[in-house]
Structure 1
């Protein structure tokens, strides 16, 4: 048998509703902050992407010139002295959203050692241009990767935040409001019945008293 609703239950339900509204307000502020951060990262990502594509075009042109004037053997001389690339991953957090950022473990000198076997004095200027372009694209590439990783994490967190807000707004809060209204109506009806019963008993009591005073009972 279900217990009859009480005023304490109604008050507890109202406090819970207010708490959920407060939590939803915090989620909405987080959503707005995420949208702003995502827009900033998207603009930066578009700018880096444009610069990256420009550098790729430059590398392609210079690479073709090196092969044309220096030959494939000169490109093969750039490999000796290079060491394996070790990538370090660092975790960062923004408004509760955790995302990874990457960087090479080696220093700039270790990544580009001066132990290449080609003689700069005997090579064309196109080879220097190729090395310069590769160095430029290396810096852009790391920023491009990190912005992309951050952007993906922020967009995923935004989707989760929107899903929570929609669930609270369209499922949880309407259910709580309906339950609160139901309990309030039951309590109001109970109070009306109690007042009616009390009024009826009061009239009956006065009638009995009146009859007793007149000696009819």
Structure 2
């Protein structure tokens, strides 16, 4: 037992009691953190599932439009249409702190503000299906970035939840019980020492009284 290796003194008892108080407070704070992380994690998971369905549906629609456009256009015209893009999207990666977890935050900025610059070709030799495909991809881009942001956030939060859970379990099942056992052990030892001291004092008192009685008889 670990507590038997501790010197049973009042100073050690006070130190262990302070450690127990700190551990109990830390345990409560970590449990609150874990619960709040779980709440936000579940909200993100729900949003992730909904957004993934939306993104997959958008990509599927864009692919269908591209297939139809490719069927109605020759390969050379299709390749030429995308050779000189007008628009450019710059991605900036930041972060925000959520319960001590730094999750990514994506922001985008286009080279121009004109919405029609997503079309890098003239409309004379291309089909409307190609326009629909390009438009659907441009529309789904923000959701794709948000999906990537959420999925990374879920990974980071899941790791933090697991780490917090291990800390809570360590405090709850190891540190706090060990501190309580140590306090009990020291208290018992101090009580034993106090009783032993009282017994010794009583014996000394009896011896002194006996000596005093013998002295008075001789006198």
TM > 0.5: yes
2:191 corresponds to 1:188: yes
2:108 corresponds to 1:97: no
2:129 corresponds to 1:137: no
Deviation at 1:73, TM superposition (A): 3.1
- Matches for 1:48-87 after TM superposition, within 5 Å: 48-76=51-79, 77-82=81-86, 85-87=89-91
Question: Given the superposition, is the C-alpha separation of residues 213 and 43 from structure 1 closer, same or farther in structure 2, using an over 3 Å criterion?
Answer: same
- Extract unaligned runs of 5+ from structure 2: none
Question: Given the superposition, is the C-alpha separation of residues 165 and 9 from structure 1 closer, same or farther in structure 2, using an over 3 Å criterion?
Answer: same
Q: Is this contact kept in 2: 1:74–1:118, CA < 8 A? A: no
RMSD: 2.3
- Extract unaligned runs of 5+ from structure 1: none
Deviation at 1:102, TM superposition (A): 2.3
Question: Given the superposition, is the C-alpha separation of residues 37 and 122 from structure 1 closer, same or farther in structure 2, using an over 3 Å criterion?
Answer: same
Deviation at 1:3, TM superposition (A): 8.7
Deviations 1:133-152 (A, max 9, x none): 11122121011111112111
- The aligned counterpart of 2:12 is 9
Paired residues, number? 214
Deviations 1:145-185 (A, max 9, x none): 11112111111111111111122222222322222222112
Deviation at 1:71, TM superposition (A): 2.9
TM-score computed with the length of structure 1 as normaliser:
0.88
1:34 corresponds, among 3, 19, 37, to 37
2:84 corresponds to 1:88: no
Deviation at 1:194, TM superposition (A): 0.5
TM-score computed with the length of structure 2 as normaliser:
0.87
